[in-house]
Amino acid sequence: MDELMQVFRQTYLEESFEGLAAMESNLLTLPEGTPDTEVVNTIFRAAHSMKGGAGTFGFSELIHLTHILETLLDEMRSGKRNVTTENREALLQSVDVLRVILDAYQNGASIDMTQVKAMEEKLEAILGNATQNDNSAASNATTETDVTTGYQIHLSPSDDYFSSGIDLLKLLHELSRIEGASRTHITTHLNAGNPLQVEHCLIAFNVVIEGEVSLEDVNEVFEWLDDDSCHVSIAAIQAEASKQSTTATSAATQQVVAASTASATAATKTPTTAVVEKQESSIRVSISKIDQMVDMVGELVIAQSMLSRFGLLADQMNAPWADELKEGLIDIERHTRAMQESVMSIRMMPISFAFNRMPRIVHDVSAKLEKDIELILEGENTEVDKTVLEKLTDPLVHIIRNSVDHGIEKPDVREASGKPRKGTVRLSAFHAGGNIVIQIKDDGAGIRLDKVRQKAIEAGILTENQVITEKENIDLIFHAGFSTADAVTDISGRGVGMDVVRRNIRELGGTIEVQTEQGKGSVFTIRLPLTLAILDGQLAKVGEETYIFPLASIVESVLPSVENIKSVKGTFLYRLRDVYIPIVRLNEFFARPQGKTQLTDGLLVVVENGDKRFGVFVDSLESQQQVVIKSLDTNYRKVNGISGATIMGDGRVAMILDLTELSHEIE
């Protein structure tokens, strides 16, 4: 049963996390004033389920808090209490506290009871009465294990007892088997006076149990039984045992009754429009198993591309079986690709997992800053890789906080500048090309470029007279240790912000860009690769080396012509339709002196990285193919300009270019 209990506990935890999320999102939409019964009912039910399971599954630290929570919510749904900012905030806070407790259970960490106690006290203060402490009072009878010489039990079933479906003989039999019972004596008698009716129960029983039996055991037999369907009275036989318990519905049960007094009224009003959540049937699989599969599929892709060479070879040899072989290889390729896609899709999760945290953050922060802000979420169902999702959440939180803190103005300021008092922050996700794009757009004041510049000079990032472009000016906010807030707030942190945001996003192979317009607002655009494990690559040769470009970043490739090449202070620029772009030579960058040196002899691959465009000089282009990214860091060490490696069809290793790092070379 212990192992099973673990399973139940896990289910309980998952269910409770879901319940908390439901409570939170409903609390956020709960208007003040007379409670919306539907919404409150949903919140109530989540709290109620948590409380119900807490004791059963041994989460004792939750019991009291969920109980008070339930009482408060019950008062709301039965209309005894209005929704106020104060109690809604308190409810939201208790969601947080519960989440902390559940997290602690989940991770086997210890629980900070002072926090829990403080929350309990807060809720109790709102309730206005110290709730009876049900725990301590719960056991007048249950702890009473005085052993007497026996008990006399009178069972008097109600008239309609026969229709209840309960077998009284079973109970009588059980009484005789109570531990310590040496002798059981049963007498029956008819309830006199009532007219005899065949369907009515007119019989009553007197049971005498002799022996050293405990009252608890006797009570337990009848505990579940509704008192009205069968009246039970139990009396100790021993003369000196003065303690008597008259009814069998034990005192313990009654204590619980007393403790949850208010929870009765509205329970029968079942909501009519409540959404029935249809669970998709699913199984839980550990991420490591999926990653193992991703790995194996990766190997399969490599093996497949190795094999496909033999198709060409067979063609060249005019082998009689060449066609069959090629057909088979094409099938394998198709299936491998399909398999790869479906395996990758297992790791994909809707971005709503990250987005769903944001309404709460906006709510809390804007309340604190006395701002009126609406958060609009778009494209929550856009799927992203689980790893991307996990690493994305913190940067998103940070940018959103920034938008709320620095971006959106206070209502009065907004009104004065002719804007609606309510500010808007729009968080959207969508697919564009081979990327996932996430945008955070606010209609706030925009970033004050002069202020940014000033701060940068103060921080020593910039010299007084340094000339920078507007773009560079904006990008200063990504500099380590930079913060524009006039006063350091506890909302946007202490300048450990945007640089970390950009680093996290770069680690995911993504980019972040900012556009801002004074007085109109700012847009943060994050671009991320769809998946981290497989890349559509363009192979290129430089001497003996094979390099791989991420296909998505290639704009075009050109045969350089002499008249368009320009040399400025030792670096080469290429004029591409009236725009000069810098040139990176891979053999120089990686200090591997091989391959062509004359620009006119080779090819220029024009790539775009973020908003930078530059040319990469290579000898020639080879095929395009999907490559499985293997980490160079874990297998060798970090190499500047290389984001990873892959194993080619012929077993050789090729390097995947990190265009972001290459672009730094140009700066």
Partner 1 sequence: MAKKILAVDDSKSMRQMVAMTLKSAGYDVTEAEDGVDALSKANGTQFDLVLTDINMPNMGGIELTTKLRALGNYRMTPIICLTTESSDDMKGKGKAAGATGWIVKPFSPEKLLATIQRVI
Site mask for partner 1 (CB under 8 A), range 35-74, x = bound: -------x-xx--xx-xxxxxxx-----x-----------
**Among 25, 253, 308, 356, contact with partner 1 (rule: CB under 8 A):** 253
Q: Which of residues 244, 261, 454, 631 is near partner 1 by CB under 8 A?
A: 261
In one-letter notation, the amino acid at residue 1 is M
Check binding of 132 to partner 1 (CB under 8 A): no
Strands 521-529 and 612-618: unpaired
Rg (CA), the chain: 36
Residue numbers 184-223 binding partner 1 by CB under 8 A:
220-221, 223
Residue 124 or 134: which CB sits closer to partner 1?
Answer: 134
| Cβ nearer to partner 1, comparing 170 with 664 | 170
Alpha-carbon distance 482 to 499, whole Å? 8
Nearest-approach distance from CB 606 to partner 1, in angstroms: 55
**572/592 Cα distance (integer angstroms):** 19
Report the residue number, 12 or 205, with the smaller CB distance to partner 1. Answer: 12
Decide whether 166 or 377 has the Cβ nearer to partner 1.
Answer: 166
Cα–Cα distances (Å) from 244 to 144, 239, 250, 257, in that order, read 10, 11, 11, 20
State the nearest-atom distance from the C-beta of 171 to partner 1, in Å: 6
CB 91 within 8 Å of CB 283: no
Answer for which of 7, 239, 467, 579 binds partner 1 (CB under 8 A) is 7
Q: Name the segment binding partner 1 (CB under 8 A); options: 253-261, 340-348, 400-408, 567-575.
A: 253-261
CB of 36 to partner 1, least distance (A): 16
Check: CB of residue 13 under 8 Å from CB of residue 105: yes
- Do the Cβ atoms of 189 and 203 come closer than 8 Å? yes
Tokens standing for residue 399: 């940018």
Binding region for partner 1 (CB under 8 A) out of 156-164, 240-248, 335-343, 584-592: 156-164
Torsion angle in degrees (nearest 10) through CA of 468, 469, 473, 475: -110
Q: How many CA atoms lie within 13 A of 238 on its CB side?
A: 15
Q: Interface with partner 1 includes 17 (CB under 8 A)?
A: no
Q: Which is nearer to partner 1, 64 or 527 (CB)?
A: 64
Helix-helix angle 358-368:386-402, to 10 degrees: 20
Residue 8 interacting with partner 1 (CB under 8 A): yes
Q: Does residue 280 interact with partner 1 by CB under 8 A?
A: no
177 binds partner 1 (CB under 8 A): no
Q: How far is it, in rounded angstroms, from Cα 49 to Cα 6? A: 18
DSSP states along 60-111: HHHHHHHHHHHHHHHHHHTTSS-B-HHHHHHHHHHHHHHHHHHHHHHHTPPP
Verify binding: residue 665, partner 1, rule CB under 8 A.
no
> Which stretch in 256-264, 369-377, 394-402, 437-445 sits in contact with partner 1 by CB under 8 A?
256-264
What is the rounded end-to-end Cα distance, in angstroms, of the chain? 65
With binding defined as CB under 8 A, does residue 464 bind partner 1?
no
268 lies in the binding site for partner 1 (CB under 8 A): yes
- 166 lies in the binding site for partner 1 (CB under 8 A): yes
Which one of 179, 228, 490, 650 is in contact with partner 1 (CB under 8 A)?
A: 228
Q: How far apart are CA 410 and CA 370, in angstroms?
A: 7
Go through the chain and tell me how many residues it has: 667
Smaller CB distance to partner 1: residue 6 or 598? 6
What is the maximum span of the chain, computed from C-alpha positions, in angstroms?
Answer: 122
Per CB under 8 A, the list member of 142, 164, 247, 356 interacting with partner 1 is: 164
* Residue 338 is a binding residue for partner 1 (CB under 8 A): no
Q: Which two tokens stand for residue 491?
A: 């909302």
Instruction: Candidates 274, 312, 653, 666: give the one binding partner 1 (CB under 8 A).
Output: 274
Beta carbon of residue 229, minimum distance to partner 1 (angstroms, whole number): 6
Q: How many residues bind partner 1 (CB under 8 A)?
A: 53
Smallest distance, partner 1 to C-beta of residue 168, A: 10
Query: Does 244 help bind partner 1 (rule: CB under 8 A)?
Result: no
Of the two residues 221 and 539, which places its CB atom closer to partner 1 in the complex? 221
Question: How does 144-167 read in b/e, with b if 16+ C-beta sit within 10 Å?
Answer: eeeebbbbebebbbbeebeeeebe
Could you say whether residue 263 binds partner 1 (CB under 8 A)? yes
Q: Does the footprint of partner 1 cover residue 167 (CB under 8 A)?
A: yes
Which residue, 278 or 637, is less far from partner 1 as judged by CB?
Answer: 278
Instruction: Tell me 648's DSSP state.
Output: -
Closer to partner 1 by Cβ: residue 51 or 441: 51
Sign of CA dihedral 358, 363, 369, 373: positive
Which residue type, as a one-letter code, is found at position 259?
A
Comparing CB distances to partner 1, the nearer of 70 and 383 is 70
> Residue 270, interface with partner 1 (CB under 8 A)?
yes
Q: Give me the least distance between CB of 150 and partner 1, in Å please.
A: 21
Least distance between partner 1 and beta carbon 234 (Å): 16
135 binds partner 1 (CB under 8 A): no
CB of 44 to partner 1, least distance (A): 8
Q: Could you give the 3-state DSSP secondary structure of residue 665?
A: helix
Strand order in the sheet with 571-576: 554-558, 603-609, 612-618, 579-585, 571-576, 565-568
Indicate left, alpha or beta for 22 from its phi (over 0: left) and psi (-120 to 50: alpha): alpha
The region of 160-168, 371-379, 404-412, 632-640 touching partner 1 under the rule CB under 8 A is 160-168
**Cβ contacts of 477-484, under 8 Å, gap ≥ 24:** 477/447, 477/452, 477/514, 478/502, 478/512, 482/455, 482/456, 483/455, 484/406, 484/447, 484/448, 484/451, 484/452, 484/455
Q: Judged by CB, which is closer to partner 1: 239, or 275?
A: 275
Query: Roughly what angle, to the nearest 10 degrees, separates helices 2-29 and 85-107?
Result: 150
- Residues making contact with partner 1 (CB under 8 A): 1, 4-5, 7-9, 11-12, 15, 42, 44-45, 48-49, 51-57, 63, 162-167, 170-171, 174, 220-221, 223-226, 228-229, 253, 256-257, 260-261, 263-265, 267-268, 270-271, 274, 276
